[in-house]
Amino acid sequence: MSKTIFEKSQREQHAYSLPADEEEFQRFLPPQNLLRKVPLPLPEVSEIDLTRHFSELAHKNVGIDNVFYPLGSCTMKLNPRVNEWAAGLPGFVRTHPLAPEETIQGNLQLIHELLEILCYLCGMTAGTLLSNAGAQGEFVGIRMIASYHKKRGEGGRKEILIPDNAHGTNPATAAMAGYTIITIRSNKHGDLDLEDLKNHLSDRTAGLMLTNPNTLGLFSSHILEIAKLVHESGGLLYYDGANLNPLLNIVRPGDMGFDVMHINLHKTFSTPHGGGGPGSGPVLCNDKLKEFLPVPKVELVNGSYKLVWDEVGSIGRIASFHGNFGIYLRAYLYAKLHGNFGLRKIAEASVVNANYLKKKISGLFTVPFSQHCLHEFVIQADNYIDRGIRAMDIAKRLLDYGVYAPTVYFPLIIKECMLIEPTESESLATLDRFVDIMHKIVEEIQTHPELVKTAPHTKPVTRLDEVLAAKRPILKHLTLNL
């Protein structure tokens, strides 16, 4: 017999109450022929114990609400509570996705206006909100590029060029779309190597996927030349919008020469991030590609908002219904409340915060690129390898000080890399506290390296085999054979 083990289960404890009267109780039971012969092995927990259990789990959870979260390339910024309030308004929450167009004019108007805002900020002419995540947005954009070349009779363009410091989703997206990935190396300044780019451009090039600023936190000073080279070869430019936050109302991807892009709403427009979703990755494009956008499209026709399905060149449907509407709503309100001036201040503050931190901790670690960064920067935590301390050890020790670790070992081209992004949300006091903690950890490395090497010491679990955990996660309770 197999018995499931539940740590908090106690016999005959319940988190519900049923009528004591037998006759009344029977009304709650399904027909006898539908009842199980053997009871399910479920935990037996009282309501107060159940409440305390989930409250305890909530306190153990680490997130932007309770700790500084400088997770490079992920922009873990404040999610304003007013956005959550608006997303919970009954009129929005109770809208059925199959409701007739005339009954959801407010929802369709919001979709239409948010796209107008995003297109203005990014220098594009059309777009869609349908993608359920940035990664899906990438896939949509690359499929649009494929449709563009196919229509022009250039189906032989089967190569996508991708920098060696790109986000991991870029090569994955290109491969899923059937392309061959060609890696373009970075130069000594952290920018795309123009000579390497020229050597790989050909009549097989479908496009270049680029993040600017790149994942090293550096803005490409050659972006206009890069765009010219790619376009002259007959290719298109795809903009990975993960690093859009420091550019808001300062420079636009469309003005740099990009043809299509996605935006991670959680990274730039403050929608919830993490936990597997829901997400949203709007796709924007210029006139070259707008006919290939997925359906349905929301258009304003004679004063009313309509869903348009019959677009001849469209790549078709890519999501159920209208995507994650509650995420659009949060992003819309964020953009409206800040306005153009406020969004620019957000971008400026993100750059100032990152450069402040970079300067303050540059004496503790190797800084591979000395020039000013934008919203994030990389350091090499290889100064202390002779003491047995690597980037992962420093990241784990940060947890003991109540700070979430930066991204480690990415980008892969930087040895013992730590990718740090403070975002505009953080105060000077928070940044200074992070600097003090880094100094303390370096002191510990000098005096007591084993303390750092075995961190964390204050968390429910310590060191895990993270590779094994990713490949073979345990998603259920263990069972004992009795």
pLDDT at residue number 198: 98
pLDDT given for residue 4 in this prediction: 55
At residue 134, does pLDDT exceed 60?
yes
**Phi and psi at residue 170, in whole multiples of 5°?**
-60, -55
Peptide bond connecting 278 to the previous residue in cis, omega within 30 degrees of 0: yes
pLDDT average, residue stretch 384-404: 96
Range 145-170 average pLDDT: 96
User: 458: which 2 tokens?
Assistant: 């204050």
372 in Cβ contact with 221 (< 8 Å): no
Q: Is the torsion defined by CA of 388, 390, 396, 398 positive or negative? A: positive
> What are the helix (H) ranges across 181-262?
194-200, 223-232, 253-256
Quote the tokens at residue 18. Answer: 């049923």
pLDDT, tens only, 260-301? 999 999 999 999 886 656 789 999 999 999 999 999 999 999
Burial zone of 11 (CB within 10 Å; 0-12 exposed, 13-18 middle, 19+ buried): exposed
Span of 13-17, 19-23, 75-79, 470-474 with lowest mean pLDDT: 19-23
Query: What is the spatial distance between Cα 141 and Cα 177, in angstroms, rounded to a whole number?
Result: 10
Residue 275, pLDDT score: 60
**Quick one: tokens of 14?**
């319940």
- 393/412 Cα distance (integer angstroms): 17
Using an 8 Å Cβ cutoff, are 249 and 226 in contact?
A: no
pLDDT exceeds cutoff 70 at 106: yes
pLDDT at residue 211 is higher than 90 = yes
Give the tens place of pLDDT for each residue, 218-244: 999 999 999 999 999 999 999 999 999
What is the DSSP code string of 275-318? TT------EEE-TTTGGG--SPEEEEETTEEEEE---TT-----
What residue ranges define each of the domains in the chain, with the CATH number in brackets?
82-338 (3.40.640.10)
Distance of CA 395 to the CA centre of its chain: 20
Q: Rounded CA gap, 480 and 444, in Å? A: 43
Q: Can you name the residues that pair with 419 across neighbouring β-strands? A: 378, 407
How many C-beta atoms lie closer than 10 Å to residue 343's C-beta?
22
Q: How confident is the model at residue 480 (pLDDT cuts 50, 70, 90)?
A: very low
pLDDT band at 477 (very low <50, low <70, confident <90, very high): low
How do residues 82-97 score in pLDDT, each as one tens digit? Answer: 999 999 999 999 999 8
Q: Which of 179, 109, 110 is nearest to 138 (CA)?
A: 179
Q: What is the mean pLDDT of the chain?
A: 93
User: Has residue 472 got a pLDDT over 90?
Assistant: no
